[in-house]
């Protein structure tokens, strides 16, 4: 019996949910499509989708459940919601930045944030920053924050250097 989830993000796409979900599961390890539902005739006057076309794609990104919905062009993604990718190494940051940013908006790249080709915002950040900022903004954290604000893609070595005051 599948694990019941209480909370799972649902991402609204015009009609690219399947394409996006397949792309995302190809970017992250331990990821998979878990279910596909299709529109039927019921509600066609509202959803205006062909019977049999993809309605939702349930998928997991490294174990995190998400759903992608083909809901039409009514709503667009914006920066009010983003998905965070916590990375342990610069190689991970470089990988996710390159993969997720491919075809996205280069003008939306700031402080570890980027938009992918569908306009979904991602934050690709070093995991170590969580520990630097969780105790408040001491002088070391302030230096790391100043360094981060000047970056597009995060540079762990430069952030660590700033944190140490070197």
Whole-prediction pTM: 0.91
Of residues 30, 11, 8, the one with CA closest to residue 19 = 11
Distances (CA, A) of 109 to 84, 100, 102: 14, 11, 12
Over residues 113-122, mean pLDDT: 97
| Residue the block writes with tokens 């491919």 | 102
Kindly indicate the confidence band of residue 112, based on its pLDDT and cuts at 50, 70 and 90: very high
Tell me: pLDDT of 110 over 70.
yes
Return the CATH number of the domain spanning residue range 10-70.
3.30.720.100
Q: Where in the chain is the domain with CATH 3.30.720.100?
A: 10-70
Across the chain, mean pLDDT equals: 93
Tokens representing 16 are 């690219």
Q: Where in the chain is the domain with CATH 3.10.180.10?
A: 82-164
| Residue the block writes with tokens 């280069």 | 106
Pick among 3.10.180.10, 3.40.1160.10, 3.40.50.2300, 3.40.50.10330: CATH of 82-164: 3.10.180.10
Over residues 33-50, mean pLDDT: 89
Tell me: pLDDT of 1 over 50.
no
Kindly indicate the confidence band of residue 137, based on its pLDDT and cuts at 50, 70 and 90: confident
Q: Which residue has the higher pLDDT, 5 or 48?
A: 48
State residue 110 phi and psi, 5-degree precision. -160, 135
């Amino acid at each position: 019996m599948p694990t019941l989830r209480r909370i799972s993000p649902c991402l609204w796409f015009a009609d690219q949910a399947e394409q996006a979900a397949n792309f995302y599961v190809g970017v992250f390890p331990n990821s998979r499509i878990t279910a596909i539902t299709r529109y039927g005739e019921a509600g066609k006057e509202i959803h205006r989708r062909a019977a049999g076309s993809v309605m939702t794609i349930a998928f997991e990104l490294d174990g995190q459940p998400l759903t992608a919905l083909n809901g039409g062009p009514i709503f667009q993604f914006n920066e009010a919601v983003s998905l965070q990718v916590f990375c342990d190494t610069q190689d991970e940051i470089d990988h996710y930045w390159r993969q997720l940013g491919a075809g996205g908006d280069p003008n939306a790249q700031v402080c570890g944030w980027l938009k992918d080709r569908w306009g979904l915002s991602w934050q690709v950040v070093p995991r170590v920053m969580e520990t630097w900022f969780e105790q408040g903004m001491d002088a070391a954290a302030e230096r790391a924050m100043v360094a981060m604000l000047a970056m597009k893609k995060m540079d762990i070595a430069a952030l660590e250097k700033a944190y140490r005051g070197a």
